[in-house]
Amino acid sequence: MAGALGAEIHGVDLSREVPAAAIRSAFLEHQVIFFRDQTLTPAQFMAFARCMGQPVEYPFVKGIEGFPEVIEVKKLEHERHNFGGIWHSDTAYLAMPPMGSMLLAREVPPFGGDTLFASQYLAYESLSAGMRRLLEGLVAVNSSAKADVSRTREDRIKEQSGQSREFVAEHPVVRVHPETGRKALYVNVAHTARFTGMTDEESEPLLRFLFRHQVRPEFTCRFPWRAGSLAFWDNRCTQHNPVNDYHGHRRLMHRITLAGERPR
């Protein structure tokens, strides 16, 4: 779909037996893959997810009835905030962030609501040798309380009732992908607060540079949704950003998160 990452896969009905090995290979090569016209029931969506990994419950949002690992990602007509509306890697504030995530479009607005993806392989590989050496030994502190804009509708309700909970995890700034062996930048503006052993003020200049650098246009692709579209991204080497440009319209997606490992 673009020079950096992303591929659309045709000729596959995910409600039936799927070529799991071929899909997995495309996923690892392209970092995010897309399907169109998938009229999946929640059970069929779960079956496909199990072919690709281990579905897990999302820490802040209750799943739909009968399927605790399937959550609704929605923005209603009167709302101004969207779910995760900033560049980020999913739940980097967990000790073991997810391997990947799947998003299936149920209802889409008449315009807008695209999702941007950015390759963190390219973000790392395009840095100078000196900057790569500097980053190799750094560890980042990630917090679920870092960015208000990335909170879900449910997060805001819990915060107002005093029931919110903060998650904090430390991860290497440069992580090695456990399957491809490639290195990727692993900080993000939504969750990364500072470097371990440094203050926020000391960390801020370098983090500000990295946050700008890692989403340069040449590292990205853009996906326009239709009802029945499905995206499956590798959370270990990508970031994503759902564009919040459809105020006054409803958008409803179903998401499944797949278990990951501790970043190394």
Residues forming the active site: 88, 90, 240, 255
For tokens 């990452």, name the residue: 5
| CB contact set of 221 (below 8 Å; sequence gap of 6+) | 1, 2, 4, 5, 6, 32, 116, 117
Please list the alpha-helical segments (H only) found in 31-89: 42-52
Question: Any idea what DSSP says for residue 244?
Answer: -
Whether residue 101 contacts residue 235, with contact meaning beta carbons closer than 8 Å, is answered with yes
Residue type, 212: R
Whether residue 100 contacts residue 235, with contact meaning beta carbons closer than 8 Å, is answered with yes
Report phi then psi at 185, rounded to 5: -65, 140
β strands within 4-119, DSSP E: 7-8, 32-35, 55-56, 70-75, 100-107, 115-119
Half-sphere exposure of residue 98: CA atoms within 13 angstroms, side-chain side? 27
Residues 196, 123: Cα–Cα separation, whole Å: 21
Whether residue 169 contacts residue 261, with contact meaning beta carbons closer than 8 Å, is answered with no
